[in-house]
Amino acid sequence: MLRIRGLVTSGATGVVAALALAGTLMSVVGPPTAAASAKKKPDSSRAPITVGFLNEQQGAVAFPTFGAGAQAARVYLDGHGGVDGRPLKFLDCYTDGSTAAAVACANRFVAAHVPVVLEGISIGSDAAVPILAGAGIPLVGHTAFGNVQSNSPDAFFFGAATGAYDVVPLEVMKRDLHLSSVTYMAATNAQDRGFVADDSQPAARALGLKYQAIYYNGTSPNFQSTVGSAIATGAKALFFTAPEPTCTSLVAAARTLSYKGAVFAGSCSAFIKADGAQANGVFTASDLYVPDDKKGVPAVAKKQLATYEKAMNSYAPQYTNGFAQDTFSSTMDLATALRTIHGAVDRASVLKALRHIDGQKSFMGQRLDCNGKQWPGERAACASGLIEYHVHDGKRVMYTKGFVHGEQLVK
């Protein structure tokens, strides 16, 4: 079971379906265009900082959108002085999702003596963690793609803990909408049942929300029936964290059945493009400020959003409104951490810098504290907050005033 920013996907097939519908599964990105030309070149006389970059960008299952975001950030950095004047270079290693490919990349990074590995997405990457950790090489990224890395003391992820996506929407339902009841819809498998038992159900209990879970068959679902059963509970809100195709189907079913309560669609966004009229009023979450709505965004983050849009539109505009935002952000966050190092940039100094991240502001996001205490059971998460957005006229509009943190509800 794999989660991408709160989306639950059953293995590689689910991920492909989720990203394909979102318009993010496309051909591998080529070189940047001339529009991404440098304003300030790094000092070419200084040795570059070479970062291992791990991404699933080849084979039958490919996620070039994650690669595009990281590469666009690297190009931007080298167009603006690099990292303290040093060029930033990626040692790219692309996998096909297998553990064997992840292991091969890990060994390549060890042999190359890279000081840190940046992960876009690689489904089998948990297998790489022991090899990297054994060599003292930290792993960084935006979202953890496995239980091993999410709990490794040598891994650091700058997005919100995955558990936040099960909990924060409940807090918004109670605190801001003053709702009394919610029905959660999930696939009938051990993993989804675990998310219910470990995260959303305890949080609902702590909030005093009446909570029910209804399960659908993940391989042959009947969404009309599932949503009909959820509506029959009389709940004031329907809630799900699911792959993009499932989100789209559940939103459509809720509208077809004329459900009048609140609908919380995890962190999905493809349903907005699928049917803008049906999407109006639906809630969706993000651990970053999104380009759709800049009202209420702090001035620094607003500038960062503009930087992101300009960089992506120059490098790979087809990916601007997708998961590229995550990897762009994590690349910029890593660069910020590297700038705190005085002296040699090596495995030990990078690991020390990452472990001492305390209050660093994420690029386009929230405060980062990489102390292992942001979320129970997710040691590597450096953040816990989400912004809840409300869809209006085909765009995500900020509903909460900034980030909402729900870790206290599951401790």
Give the span between the Cα atoms of 116 and 56, in whole angstroms. Answer: 18
104 plus 78 within the same structural domain: yes
**Residue 42 · residue 335 · CB < 8 Å:** no
Q: Which two tokens stand for residue 225?
A: 């029936």
- Beta-carbon count within 10 A of 346 CB: 16
Give the span between the Cα atoms of 262 and 264, in whole angstroms. Answer: 7
**Residue 118 · residue 140 · CB < 8 Å:** yes
DSSP-derived pairing of the beta strands 358-361 and 367-369:
antiparallel
Number of domains present in the structure of the chain: 2
Q: At what angle do helices 244-256 and 11-21 cross, to 10 degrees?
A: 60
pLDDT at 33: 40
Q: What is the pLDDT along the chain (411 residues), one digit of tens a residue?
A: 344 444 444 444 444 444 443 444 433 344 344 333 446 777 777 899 999 999 998 777 788 899 999 999 999 999 999 999 999 999 999 999 899 999 999 999 999 999 999 999 998 999 999 999 999 999 999 999 889 999 999 999 999 998 999 999 999 999 999 999 999 999 988 878 888 888 899 999 999 999 999 999 988 999 999 999 999 999 999 999 988 889 999 999 999 999 999 999 999 988 998 999 999 999 999 999 999 999 999 999 999 999 999 999 999 999 998 889 999 999 999 999 999 999 999 999 999 999 999 999 999 999 999 999 999 989 999 999 999 999 999 999 999 999 999 898 987
pLDDT at 39: 63
In order of 158, 224, 276, 391, the CA distances from 252 in angstroms are 33, 9, 11, 14
303 plus 270 within the same structural domain: no
* CATH number of the structural domain spanning residue 148: 3.40.50.2300
**HSE on the CB side for 342, CA within 13 Å?**
0
343 plus 364 within the same structural domain: yes
**Residue 12 · residue 245 · CB < 8 Å:** no
Give the span between the Cα atoms of 25 and 244, in whole angstroms. Answer: 13
Q: Which domain holds residue 238?
A: 164-290+388-409
pLDDT at 62: 81
Terminal alpha carbon distance of the chain: 23
pLDDT at 57: 84
309 plus 194 within the same structural domain: no
70 plus 181 within the same structural domain: no
401 plus 274 within the same structural domain: yes
36 plus 129 within the same structural domain: yes
> Where would I find the H helices in 79-119?
99-112
pLDDT at 169: 97
pLDDT at 220: 92
284 plus 305 within the same structural domain: no
140 plus 16 within the same structural domain: yes
